[in-house]
């Protein structure tokens, strides 16, 4: 058992769109990522996905729905099955909570897919 300092964890990496695992509870992974520019459109068939902005701002674009704009300290849960694309116009530091084993690109694979996120 140990506490996690988010500032220290974010300082441990610089790459963007490569989530890092910092905790696990009840079958859920707590992940951190630095995001900038557009991600890929995707959805998760079985998993809801929580995005909490720690630093910066993040837009969650969703097909067939309004874009949700998040500021520091705000979070949004993308329901399973909803096609979405996170967009950060400047670098954002984001905490995500999702079931262990959830692929960051959901139903697609490609250059941005991280099969096995690193634990830090």
How many domains does the structure of the chain reveal? 1
Q: pTM for the complete prediction?
A: 0.93
What is the CATH number for 57? 2.60.120.10
Answer whether residue 95 is part of any domain. Answer: yes
Answer whether residue 91 is part of any domain. Answer: yes
For tokens 């995707």, what's the residue? 42
Q: Is the pLDDT of residue 24 over 90?
A: yes
Q: Is the pLDDT of residue 1 over 90?
A: no
Answer whether residue 36 is part of any domain. Answer: yes
- 48 Cβ contact list (under 8 Å, min separation 6): 77, 78, 79, 80, 98
Q: Chain-centre distance of CA 50, in angstroms?
A: 7
Write out the residue range of the structural domain in which residue 63 sits.
Answer: 6-109
Give the model confidence (pLDDT) of 63-105 as tens digits.
988 999 999 999 999 999 999 999 999 999 999 999 999 999 8
Answer whether residue 46 is part of any domain. Answer: yes
């Amino acid at each position: 058992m140990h506490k996690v300092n988010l500032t220290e964890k974010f300082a441990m990496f610089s790459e963007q769109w490569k989530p890092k695992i910092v905790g696990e509870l009840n079958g859920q992974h707590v992940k951190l990522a630095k995001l900038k520019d557009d991600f890929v459109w995707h959805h998760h068939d079985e998993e809801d996905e929580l995005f909490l902005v720690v630093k910066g701002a993040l837009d969650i674009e969703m097909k067939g729905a309004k874009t949700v704009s998040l500021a520091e300290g705000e979070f949004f849960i993308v329901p399973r099955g909803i096609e979405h694309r996170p967009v950060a116009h400047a670098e954002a530091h984001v905490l995500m909570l999702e079931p262990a084993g959830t692929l960051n690109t959901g139903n697609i694979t490609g250059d941005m897919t991280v099969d096995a996120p690193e634990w830090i």
